[in-house]
Structures are given as structure tokens and as C-alpha cells.
Amino acid sequence: MKTDHLTSTFLALRERLHRSALAFLKDDEDAKDALQDTFLRLWKSGGVENDSEASSKLFVVLRNVCIDRLRRKRSVELEDKHTISLKIEPSSGENIEQLESLLTAGLSRMQRRIYSLSVHYSMDYKDIALRLGMSEGAVRAQMCRARKKISENYKILNR
């Protein structure tokens, strides 16, 4: 019985694919699940023309599946952190600080510093750039990334 290109290539590369997924996910069961998801995604997409195409698509799709799993895992951790932190009595000043901490989770050290100078000290980008020894454009770019991450965290918290 002759198998298709995708199946034969998947079987031949299974161990390499598993090691690659394991390097990303650090968990054997997650890696095995990622392999299954990868194969199913490609199978549903309509197959491949040859073994070379199958090989390259398997690794690309596997990488994307692993990244998706890591993002979901990080999102769940943030939701758990949010659930725990909101058990504090409302009206305490700590709630605002904790909420800000949740919203700024995942910012780089530089983004957090720029955000703090801009929001808490009302400094403009030019002054922040001078203070940190950066260009104004770099400060703008870092603040843009920080705002984007804060927006993502806000959406997660308000599900």
C-alpha cells in the first residue's frame, strides 16, 4: 500500500519533529500533542506535492503550533494571576497597584521604565530620551510596544 507524501515524510521525521517541539515546550506530553496538531493541520489543508515540501511545511507548522501553545499557556497564567489578585478587598489602594502590575506584566525592563516615566512622572518623550540616553524615536517605539502589551493584557483580564 502506497502512502502519501505527508504521511511518509511525517513518519520519517517524527523523532526530529518531536525533539524540536520538546525544545520549545519543555514537556513531553505537550510536544506529542503539538505533533498531532501539526499533522492534522497539514492533513486538513489539502496535502503536499512532494517530500521536500512536506518536510519544510511540517517544521514551519510545528513551530507555529508550539508558539500558539506557549501563548495560550502564558495567557492562562495571567488569568490565574488576575483571579488571585482580585480577592483583596475593594477600595484598598493596593488594588490599583495590583491592577497596574497585571496590566504591565510582560513588559521589558526598558518598556516598564519608559511607561513609568511617562505615566507617573508626566515626562514627555523628549525628556525621557534625554534621561535614558536614547533617541526620541526609540522611546516612542518602546512606548508603542508597551501600550500594545498593556492592551493585550487588558483584553485578557476582561474576558
CA 84 to chain centre: 22
> Looking at the whole model, is its pTM more than 0.75?
no
Tell me how crowded residue 46 is: count the other CB atoms within 10 A of its CB: 7
pLDDT tens string 102-124:
888 888 999 999 999 998 888 99
Q: Is the torsion defined by CA of 115, 116, 118, 119 positive or negative?
A: positive
CA 61 – CA 37 distance, rounded (Å)? 9
Tens-digit pLDDT profile for residues 22-69:
998 888 888 999 999 999 888 888 778 888 888 899 999 999 998 888
